Every structure is written in structure tokens, then in C-alpha cells.
Chain A
Amino acid sequence: MAVKKPGGNDSKARRRVFLTLAAALAGAAIGIATFLRLTQRPPVEVPKPTSPTPTTIIPTPTPADISASRVDSVPIDPDDPKWNLVREVEFTLDPQAMVRPFEPSPGVKSVKVKALYDAENIAFRIEWADKIPDFGLDVDRFSDRCAVMLLKYPIPDELAGKAWMMGTPEYPATMLVWEARLQLEAEKGLQDITDMFPNIAIDAYPPYKGTVKEVEPKPIRIGEVKGEEVYLAAFAAGNPITKVRLERKPVEKIIGKGPGTIITARTQDANGKGKWSNGVWSVVIVKRLRASDKDQGEIELTPGNTYHIAFAVWEGSKGERGSRKGVTSLLTLRLE
């Protein structure tokens, strides 16, 4: 199966015009050019949000950047053969540079994306190159992550730049964030201090009586002893991320209305699966078409419609987290 990058043959003429314009802008003022790049984000290899789809193997009548085809049931495994039937599109990732702090040169340069949907769910398969998988299991380590952001379509031009930054109050963004650490915890349970430091020696944790060593071979795990939450502040406070972890979900469903506003949606019904092999992360993120948290601003998807979509990747070994990330421009998705 061939991989086609947007900005192929039939958009060459437009690209030339655009490059001339970009060169003129860059010559005029780097600051202004950077600002425009950030708000409108038309990088060389990625078409403008509204530009038509480039050459594809199966020609599609729609102008969306990504088209999701209908199947009987969507696969959750990134290695499922169903994915081989789907056209893959590659998008460049640029630094998020609207909100400080940011990483001027993100570690991951592009993502390859596929999409499928069935009567109930939509699934995205996201793939990127990453030499070392990171799970963020120490104070100085950060987990690899990727996210899909969905927004209503169309968003008026003057709001598009803002909405691209995790939504606005009028155009809330639904984000589905997959995280390597959550994947590990979904498979192996909450990662405890004994998983991070197998040789740790601790006299005792309240409210336990024995030492960590004494309870071997099976170390006591979080949640096994009543009353421990008091000593795990974020759990005691009911931090939503702790709930996602306790439910063993590798994907968190988030609603955003602008930078710094994101909340974990009430119903955590998104799912997914990520696998790393030979320097490549392949991740599937599955979301229900129906919005279960509409009142919180979750997007509802219906077949035949178009939506705005964007992707983000965080490279853990480069210390990327939160606002330090690589992002695509605001693209379009169509459910065929």
C-alpha cells in the first residue's frame, strides 16, 4: 500500500503560489511570518485546512484531508488486517508555539493516519517513528503520547486559529489522548514504586504494618489496603486522571475550551491500544460516534458529515508534555 503525502502533483501550482507568498512574508518580517504560520499553519507539506485531498489510490469525491470508510466493526488492534485496506495520509508536525512553554523543535516530525467507522464507533490509527518507547516511570521521565482533536465544521476563519488551540467556548474541542504509561497500566496494572525501582527498600508505608520486602513475593499494590488513599493525595482528591487509571483505560477523553481549560470528560468511554515495535509506535484510538457527554461539549459524529480534526504527538524522551508538543494544522475529516 502506497503512502501519499498531501501536497502531491495536483496541488503543485497552488504550492508554488503559496511558497512565493511565504518567501515574501519571511523576507518582510520573521516575527509576523511566525505568527501567521502559527495561526494559519500552512506548512509546505500540509495543505491548508480547506484545501482538497491530494492524489489517492482510491479517488474520493470529498475534499476532506482524511476520509473514514465504513466497516462492519472497527478494529481496536493496530495490527488488525482491516487497516491494510485503508488509505494512509501523512501529516507534518510543527511545534505548538502559541502558548508558553513550548518545544521549538519537537522530536516527532510527522504522523501517518488512517480512519474507519462502524455503526457505533470511529477508530483512528496513528503511527509515528520513535526510537525509544517512553513510559514516564520516574521523576525525570515523560511518557510518549498522541492525541486526536475533533471540532465542529466549518469554523469561521477568524476563530479557526483559536479553536485549533484546544477549542473555544463556542467551539469546544473533544480530545482523545492515548498515553504509553496508561497503556502499560491498562495491561499490567497501576505502576507502583516497586515497578519503577525493583530494589527499593522502604521500612513501611502507612497504613501498612510490614515492610515492602516482608510482603514479597507479591508486593502490596495501590488500592489493596483500605485507607491508603489518604497518603496518595491525587487519589484522595479524586483527580480525574487517577480515575482513568483505575478504570485501566489507555485513552482519556478530554473536553477543551481553550489552552489551560481542559477537563477529563465525565464518561470515559473512549478506548484504544498502542504497540511499539522496531522504532515505530502504532496506536488505535476508538471513540463512540454518539456523544455521551454532550452537556460538557463533546462532539457528536454522524455519517456523511465533515469535521475539523488535528493530531498531536509528544516525544517523551525529549521532555515533551502538556504544551510542549508537535501538532498538525487544523485538518478535515469526513465520514464517508
Chain B
Amino acid sequence: MPRVYNWQIGREMDYPYPAARPKRQAAGIFNLNKCIGCQTCTVACKTTWTSGRGQEYMLWNNVEDKPWGSYPLRWDVKILSMLAKLEPIRWKKEGGTWVYRGKTIFEAAPPGEIALGYMPESYDYAFPGIGEGEASTSLRLGSHRAPFDPWFFFLPRICNHCTFPSCLAACPRQAIYKRDDGVVLVDQFRCRGYRECVKSCPYKKVFYNPVTRVSEKCIFCYPALEKGEIPRCFRNCIGKIRMFGYISLPEKADPENPIDFLVHIKRVAAPLLPQLGLEPNIYYIPPINIKNMDFVRMMFGPMGEEAINNYVRAIEKQDIEVIGALILSNSTDRIIHRFKVIGGEYVAGYNEKGNEVIRIPITEQVVVRPYYDEKLGVYRRNDV
């Protein structure tokens, strides 16, 4: 089997195809500290792409409460326990880089399989909101005991448009392909509904449509990307937690590219379950309120724990560049390729051609409106 270099696990690994990195890789950063679990992203996606027959159960974008929720049911626990049964999940720091010393899902593939995986049951998709509010209400009221302190956070998830997608690797028909911009698609003309992709995507982000009998997945709103616009779930995010952009390899990180800057240079964001070996391209700023660091390491690898520290430090130090880059998150519908802090007060984002598409103040401006407006001779009250 060919060997490919996966920078997220700091080593080479087995993959059924030789490495073929796209010209550029579409990526996203989700700041979990700001997600309010409003599901606007879920609805934005649902109404755009999955309102047809056979798509009723599909959520290309879903938001689950962690650690209690999951969609489809126990997707993360299942694949992690399958993997951990074979070999402990171990990371080692070697020369400043975290190296994963366990097996990826490709390396752990049973005989006859391309990757370690399982086929979810129909029932597993029936509870997208399971665990919602568990930690906050019932636990506090003492309804039951839990192995964790009652903390939680929202985890919005979409397809990771992985660099080494297992959905693509497992398709015996090569009906899944990765575009020049890194977007992973299921060819609706070629697919014959074998569902090998459903079985082998550990994130369970390919779905089978039982009406068309073909598999479907998140398309990263590529028609929008081609127009220089960000995807729907990014664009509609109420919490402004989502930044879309293109990520480089760590050695080619461009400090002016906000994604490179936050992931590679400031290291405040980490991928989801990097130990599985897919090099997923949605990066998360883990929530700083998690009390259980084992959980952080499990979900985001050891880089996740470092990301929390780096993020907290950046905010405490008021690192103007980190803050500037972060507040650009879906501040405009346009894709930001470069950013710059201007005069310590403003941050500007530029499109691919280098034209400024957004400029916002770093410190939110405060306008105090007097209780009595002398000019208009009226009282302003918000208590009625």
C-alpha cells in the first residue's frame, strides 16, 4: 500500500492511493467557545440541500452536545473503541511535533477491508438531538449521576473534506473524488449505492438516500465557493464562530492567511479525531471550560490541549492579530484569503485578487444613548 505523509499525526501512514494533494485545500475553523447551539447552520444546510425525499434523516451539518450527544448515535465512541481495542491510542512528542504512535483506521483495516469502520443502523440516525441539555438541567437537579462533572459544549460538525478521505478510499467504483480545491464529492451519476463510504467514514458524514438509492454528502456549497462566497452553514452562523478559507501545509504556512495563521502559526485550533488518520480539514478551537483534559485529548489529540492554552494566552495577552483574525469569522459572505491588522484598531480581509472585502473595528464600538434625547425631546426606554 502506498505511504503518504499526514502532518496532523506527524508521520507517514498507509493509504490506498499515492498522495495527491489538491492545488488548494478548502478548510474551516470553528470556535467552540462561541457556539450557542442554535442550529441555524443545521437549518441553513437542510433547507438548501436536503429537503427532498430520502433525505429526511440526513443532517450534512449537525450540532451535538458533547459529551452527551452524538449523531448518528455514538459515532465517536464506536469508532474510538473499535480502534482502541486493537491498539492503545498513543501520542509522543518528537522534536516539537506530536507523533501518533497508534494505528490509523487504514492501518487497522481487517482483512478484506480498506478501513476499519462499521455500518450505522437506521435507528442510529433517529436521535439527532440526543443528550441536549442533559448536563445543564437534569444533572444539576440530581436526576442521575454521571462520570463527568456537569460541563458540556456544542460540537457543530460537517464533512471534513479530508486530505485522505476514507469515503473515497473505500469506494470500489471510484465514484468519489476530490476536486482541485479539496472538496470531496460523491458523483451522483456514477454512484451505485454500495455504501462502502457510509461504512468507512468514521465521522459518518456520507448518507445513503434510500429513495434515489445513491449516497450523498456535504458538498461544501461548492457553487458558492466558485463565486468566492463562503458556504451556507458558515454564512448563517449566528454565533460567528466559523471561518472559511484555504489551508496550506505547515511548512508553507502563510502568516497573512487567517486559516494558516490560526492553525499553523498560533496553533489555537486542532482537527477532530486526528488519530483516525484522515487529515480532516475542519479545525476546532476547543472550549476552554472543559474540565476533563482526557476528553479534549481524545477528541482533538494532544494539539487540542495545546490549542486551549494558546487560545487562553492569546486572549489574556490581547494578541491583537489573533483577535483580529478571529473576529473576521463569517463577518462577510466573501472568502477571505489574506488579512491584516490596520493601525491596531481595525482588521481587514482581502479576497483572492487582493481587494479589500471587509474592514471592522477590533474593539466593539460602544455608543451610549442618553435616557433623554434632548435633540428629539423624547425619552428612550427599553423597560416597557
Contacts and interface: CB of A to CB of B under 8 A. Distances in A.
Interface of A: 97, 99-104, 136-142, 181, 190-193, 196, 200, 202, 205-206, 222, 228, 231-242, 245, 259-260, 262, 319, 321-323
Contact of B122 (A103, A139, A234, A260): A139
Contact of A97 (B112, B190, B198): B112
B172 A260 contact: yes
A275 B191 CA distance: 27
Nearest to B200: A101
Task: Identify the 7 closest CB pairs spanning chains A and B, nearest first.
Answer: A231-B52, A322-B194, A237-B188, A234-B212, A234-B214, A102-B112, A237-B189
Contacts of A206: 51-52
Contact of B208 (A103, A139, A262, A323): A139
Interface stretch (B113-121, B286-294, B353-361): B113-121
B113 A100 contact: yes
Contact of A259 (B172, B194, B195, B212): B172
Chain B facing A: main interface SS: loop
A234 B191 contact: yes
A140 B121 contact: yes
Interface residues of B, number: 40
Chain A facing B: main interface SS: loop
A260 B53 contact: no
Interface string B183-222: 0000111111111101000000001111111101000000
Nearest to A194: B53
A205 B212 contact: no
Given A141-B122, A191-B211, A193-B53, 4 more contacts: A100-B172, A205-B52, A234-B213, A241-B213
Among B114, B207, B209, B216, find the residue whose CB has the most chain A CB atoms closer than 10 A: B209
A100 B189 contact: no
Among A102, A104, A141, A232, find the residue whose CB has the most chain B CB atoms closer than 10 A: A232
Given A139-B122, A139-B125, A238-B189, A232 B52 contact: yes
A104 B208 contact: no
A237 B191 CA distance: 11
Interface string B118-152: 01111001000000000000000000000000000
Nearest to B192: A241
A178 to B, nearest CB: 15
A153 B52 CA distance: 47
Contacts of A192: 53, 211
B111 interface: yes
A101 B113 contact: yes
A334 B26 CA distance: 56
Given A206-B52, A234-B214, A99 B172 contact: yes
Contacts of A196: 210
23 contacts: A101-B112, A137-B210, A140-B119, A140-B121, A141-B122, A193-B210, A200-B56, A202-B56, A205-B53, A206-B51, A231-B52, A231-B55, A233-B188, A234-B189, A238-B189, A239-B214, A241-B214, A242-B212, A321-B193, A321-B194, A321-B195, A322-B173, A322-B194
A140 B173 contact: no
Interface string B71-115: 000000000000000000000000000000000000000011110
B247 interface: no
A101 B52 contact: no
Among A97, A193, A238, A319, find the residue whose CB has the most chain B CB atoms closer than 10 A: A193
A101 B196 contact: yes
Contacts of A205: 51-53
Among A100, A141, A228, A238, find the residue whose CB has the most chain B CB atoms closer than 10 A: A100
A215 to B, nearest CB: 13
A260 B173 CA distance: 4
Contacts of B113: 100-101
Nearest to B55: A231
Among A100, A181, A231, A234, find the residue whose CB has the most chain B CB atoms closer than 10 A: A234
Interface string B205-241: 0011111111010000000000000000000000000
A248 to B, nearest CB: 15
Contacts of B114: 100-101
Nearest to A235: B212
Given A139-B210, A321-B195, A236 B51 contact: no
Contacts of A136: 210, 213
A322 B112 CA distance: 13
A322 B213 CA distance: 13
A323 B113 CA distance: 11
Nearest to A322: B194
Nearest to A97: B112
Given A139-B122, A222-B53, A322-B194, A101 B170 contact: yes
B106 to A, nearest CB: 11
Given A139-B210, A140-B121, A196-B210, A232 B53 contact: yes
Contacts of A232: 52-54, 209, 211-212
Contacts of B121: 140
B57 interface: yes
B217 to A, nearest CB: 11
B43 to A, nearest CB: 13
Given A103-B112, A139-B125, A196-B210, A239 B51 contact: no
Given A231-B51, A238-B189, A101 B210 contact: no
A227 to B, nearest CB: 11
B309 interface: no
B174 interface: yes
A136 B119 CA distance: 14
Contacts of A319: 119
A6 B170 CA distance: 36
Contacts of B119: 140, 319
B311 to A, nearest CB: 38
Among A101, A103, A259, find the residue whose CB has the most chain B CB atoms closer than 10 A: A101
B307 to A, nearest CB: 35
A222 to B, nearest CB: 7
Contacts of A236: 188
A138 to B, nearest CB: 5
Nearest to A259: B172
Among B170, B172, B196, B208, find the residue whose CB has the most chain A CB atoms closer than 10 A: B172
A196 B208 CA distance: 14
A262 B175 CA distance: 11
A239 B172 CA distance: 17
A270 B56 CA distance: 34
A235 B211 CA distance: 10
